[in-house]
Amino acid sequence: MKLENFPFQIILDWYKINWRHDLPWRHKQEPYQVWISEIFLQQTQVSRVIPYFEKVIDAFPTVHDFAQIDYDTFFPYYEWLWYYSRARNMLGAAKAIVDDHDWIFPNDYNELLSLPGVWPYTSQAILAFWHNQSVLAFDTNIEKIFARYYLGSRFIKLSKEFKNNIQKQFEKTWISWREINAALMDFSSLVDINEKQNINWENYPLHNSQFFKNKWKSESRPEKKSIQINKKDAEIFVCIHKDHKEYYSENPDRFEAFQLWKTWDDHRGFIKAYFKNKFNLSLSVRPPYKKIASNKWNYFFYHAQVQAWEHEFGIFNKKEKLGWEENI
């Protein structure tokens, strides 16, 4: 497959004027800070990550400092950032770097992937930003730029061959891998935004892009049918668990999920506050895994994992939990 040359220089020229100065991990491109930022940014908005990043770096300035702490020490610095398995993986990765890699982040893709919680994109980002290695750190945001440029839509998945061809194109330029990855990230967030109707077409730099040429056509994907329920009119069932191996109930004789009554729209925030205030439990709460709507009752079902606690609940297995669910 032969692709027309992508205008990397246009992206870089835009970046040199418009780069995001407010990102603290850009100021000191050390692998530890790159790693912390990239892990925190997984499925989390930049604006939410910044204060957590600054707090962690201030308290634990090196990977060695970070590797010395346990989960209970780290939890207050991480709480409310969600995805708590991510926090445990970070601690495991830090200990592996200190114990197995002499405090140095590996410069090999597969070695980085072997660290707990390090995904392909995270590995690519560390190689590009710290080691300036020849790799484009493809995540969904960067893929979006190329999918729109060549194919007109961010919803078209790029093949491995397609991405390899783009990388080979870039290898023929004299641009730094570190700079182009940062430039693509900022361009995706500030210019090639997901809300097509809010894009500034008059100043859009990539005039040869299929996306720009077809800007008045709809970029859409099939809508998923979902149950529309007013959260304020719904009952809440909370299944508290530990790694989906143990489930907990106030009833010591049989499993029953915790039932909370109608409340405000923020169910997950309410659940966390309720269990913190009543039982002194710290929970991570996932989005609802099931909804039931009827003429009389509406229900939202949530899984919540224990993060820090002491309890006197009954302990049950997954089969007993599923048995309760079938009888609702």
pLDDT of 127 > 90? The answer is: no
Instruction: Pull the structure tokens for residue 273.
Output: 């506050």
What is the C-alpha separation between 121 and 126, in angstroms, rounded? Answer: 9
CATH match of 8-213 with 1.20.120.160: no
Amino acid of residue 30:
E
Q: Spell out the residues 6+ positions from residue 296 whose beta carbon is closer than 8 angstroms to its own.
A: none
267 residue type, one letter: H
Interatomic CA distance for residues 17 and 141, integer angstroms: 20
Instruction: Kindly report, residue by residue over 266-278, the tens digit of the pLDDT.
Output: 888 888 888 888 8
Rounded CA gap, 59 and 51, in Å? 12
> How many other CB atoms sit within 10 Å of the CB of residue 26?
17
Q: What is d(CA 313, CA 256) in angstroms, rounded to the nearest whole number?
A: 11
pLDDT digits (tens, 9 = 90+) for 217-235: 767 665 555 556 666 777 8
pLDDT at 20: 81
Annotate 136-181 with three-state secondary structure. Answer: CCCCHHHHHHHHHHHHCCCCCCCCHHHHHHHHHHHHCCCCCHHHHH
Tens-place pLDDT, residues 130-183? 777 788 888 888 999 999 999 999 988 888 899 999 999 998 888 888 889 889
Residue of 4, 30, 38, 161 with catalytic role: 38
Binned at pLDDT 50, 70 and 90, residue 192 comes out as very high
- Residue 128 CA to residue 301 CA, distance in Å, equals 42
Per-residue pLDDT at 191 exceeds 90 = yes
Q: What is the pLDDT of residue 224?
A: 56
pTM of the model: 0.65
Instruction: Give the residue extent of every domain in the chain.
Output: 8-213, 231-326
231-326 has which CATH code?
3.90.79.10
DSSP assigned state of 210:
H
Annotated active-site residue 38? The verdict is yes
Task: Output the CA torsion sign for 201, 205, 207, 211.
Answer: negative
Asked if the model's pLDDT at residue 1 lies above 60, the reply is no
